[in-house]
Structure 1
Amino acid sequence: MGKKRVTDHKLNVDKVIKNINTISSELKKIKELSQLLLCDLILHFNHPIKTENLAEAERNNPLFEESKISDVSLVSNSFSI
């Protein structure tokens, strides 16, 4: 019975480590995206578009693009000891 618990615990730890790695990579993607958006804002406010060209510019370059961030599923926090 004790050997099964150790095996189950090891599997749970492996799942947690995998999820931490997934979360870490997703956070890196979010950081990169936020840096790009910040650069866009800086450029926009340093070089504003003339008012008469605003409607055309918005059609050609939408302000925000949809970002695809994968859904991160977490392992249950309950461990049997």
Structure 2
Amino acid sequence: MGDALESLMLDLLTWLAPHERSYQEVMDAWRTSCPKFPVWEDANDRGLVTKVRVGDGLMVRITASGLAHLRGHHRGS
């Protein structure tokens, strides 16, 4: 993964770490059509984030793997 994409991945994980976010909020902030920066897609493919149904909505949470990835890069607790 390139440095720019890795940096954005860490930004996404840092943003999600404190609390889950609605799927819509995540898509508004992180979905891109740029094939060089597939941050959301890569985070899903690598199991760093997960989507869960809460009531009638869909929420996005950082996974244990995502937290470990943050810790490995000294960005998060």
TM-score (norm 1): 0.30
Quick check: which one's strand share is greater?
2
Quick check: which one's helix share is greater?
1
TM-score (norm 2): 0.31
**Which of 1 and 2 has higher RCO (CA within 8 Å, sep 6+)?**
1
Greater Cα radius of gyration, structure 1 or 2: 1
